[in-house]
């Protein structure tokens, strides 16, 4: 065997070993993730979260290949982060906590306008945003209705805060929680996703808001 052939053989073996390792880690994460999602049993959350974060893209591809739930990886990550941050989150005052709501929750006849810090809700009563705003703001929360992730990044840079509540669809929420992982993120998934008139379980959001009281 020539030197080049030996190098190629070695590279091939390394690729195969890496692929097997990724599949084993995928199965490990799905097993512990499903325990959390289906039974609420939390085992090795930080290890599982680290693996999912590190191998996010290959895991999404494997899940797609196996025709698993398209949101499974994001949902596991969100649930684990909610669990591991919960205790610390409740100890941070509402005045140091931001809430991000997606603009797609708005009613089609929403009279609010877009301003430099996002949509300025007037609490007209047509959608759940107004309900959440009326409860959250008197407690000291800063609430933002954002049209996209660029607004989130801008608001994060302009504010001093220690915790965050995010409401979004599976992938957006997971990515927001990853981006803001140093701020004890708590996430609530939309019940109906899409680009327009989405829905959220308001009681789930209020549970997070009231968890500091």
Contact set with ligand SF4 (CB under 6 A): 106-107, 110-112, 121-124, 126-127, 129-130
User: Toward ligand SF4, which CB reaches closer, 112 or 189?
Assistant: 112
- In DSSP terms, 101 is beta-bridged to 145
Find the shortest distance in angstroms from Cβ 160 to ligand SF4. Answer: 26
Q: Which bin fits 161, alpha (ψ -120 to 50), beta or left (φ > 0)?
A: beta
User: Toward ligand SF4, which CB reaches closer, 85 or 198?
Assistant: 198
User: Toward ligand SF4, which CB reaches closer, 65 or 195?
Assistant: 195
Beta strands 186-189 and 142-146, pairing class: unpaired
Find the shortest distance in angstroms from Cβ 147 to ligand SF4. Answer: 12
User: Toward ligand SF4, which CB reaches closer, 34 or 199?
Assistant: 199
Beta strands 113-115 and 97-102, pairing class: unpaired
* Residue written as token pair 């759940």: 128
Find the shortest distance in angstroms from Cβ 90 to ligand SF4. Answer: 27
Q: Sheet holding 97-102: strands in order across?
A: 113-115, 118-120, 142-146, 97-102, 163-168, 186-189
Find the shortest distance in angstroms from Cβ 198 to ligand SF4. Answer: 12
């Amino acid at each position: 065997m020539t030197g080049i052939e030996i190098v190629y053989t070695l590279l091939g073996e390394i690729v195969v070993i890496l692929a097997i390792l990724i599949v084993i880690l995928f199965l490990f994460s799905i097993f512990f993730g499903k325990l959390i999602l289906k039974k609420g049993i939390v085992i090795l959350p930080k290890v599982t979260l680290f693996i999912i974060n590190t191998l996010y893209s290959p895991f999404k591809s494997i899940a797609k290949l196996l025709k698993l739930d398209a949101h499974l990886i994001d949902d596991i990550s969100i649930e684990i982060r909610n669990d591991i941050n919960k205790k610390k989150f409740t100890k941070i005052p509402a005045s140091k906590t931001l809430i991000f709501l997606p603009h797609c929750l708005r009613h089609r006849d929403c009279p609010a306008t877009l301003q430099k810090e996002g949509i300025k809700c007037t609490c007209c009563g047509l959608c759940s945003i107004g309900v959440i705003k009326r409860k959250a703001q008197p407690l000291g929360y800063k609430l933002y209705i954002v049209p996209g992730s660029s607004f989130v990044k801008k608001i994060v840079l302009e504010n001093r805060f220690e915790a965050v509540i995010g409401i979004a669809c599976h992938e957006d929420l997971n990515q927001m929680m990853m981006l803001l992982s140093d701020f004890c993120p708590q996430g609530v998934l939309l019940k109906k996703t899409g680009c327009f008139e989405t829905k959220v379980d308001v009681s789930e959001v209020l549970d997070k808001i009231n968890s500091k009281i």
